[in-house]
A and B are shown apart, each in its own frame.
Chain A
């Protein structure tokens, strides 16, 4: 099993299929293509998007449906093409794609989530991109409130995440 040096958990070994390729990187981090998804029971529902190349680069993310259970995707056709998905219709969240919102910290607390530009992962190909919405339906600084009904779960294996 490959291993990666992480920002939060020391050295973690992970299954190959937990690695995610971002062919275009992420805006402001265009050179960072390889990431691995890590979760840990103590930190649920947080998911860690850890760079494979830079131990110090790790985004905190939350499955978007936990923030807004009625979140509606609006992925641009060219982004769908880049993900290898049918550009003519929106993918099914949870079946075709996993969708995460990146979280920002302010004053030492998780403060907001970016619902305007979610991380979209093609669950079959393990390729991802940050799909910036063209509309203004959701905020890039959606305030985070306590997530009711969210409990840390026993036995969650690192780097295997349902979102």
Chain B
């Protein structure tokens, strides 16, 4: 992973079209501004992880297989 040290007000570029600026830094965290083409999807990573996890959770067992799936929880 590339690691850069930036202060508030400084920015860096990803490719030709994406600019990421550190707006403010505090104890709570860093406030980031992103300038990117409209078609670039910017997503908090944990949201993407949750979407994928939900999609998997939604494809649970069929009604016939439910009892079998539950065996894992029985002591």
Contacts and interface: CB of A to CB of B under 8 A. Distances in A.
Contacts of B27: none
A110 B70 contact: yes
Interface residues of B, number: 28
Given A8-B66, A28-B52, A109 B72 contact: yes
Contacts of A73: none
B53 A141 contact: yes
Given A102-B54, A140-B53, A146 B74 contact: yes
B57 interface: yes
* Interface of A (DSSP majority class): loop
A60 B56 CA distance: 11
Interface stretch (A78-86, A88-96, A129-137, A153-161): A129-137
B45 to A, nearest CB: 10
A121 interface: no
Contact of A102 (B53, B66, B67, B73): B53
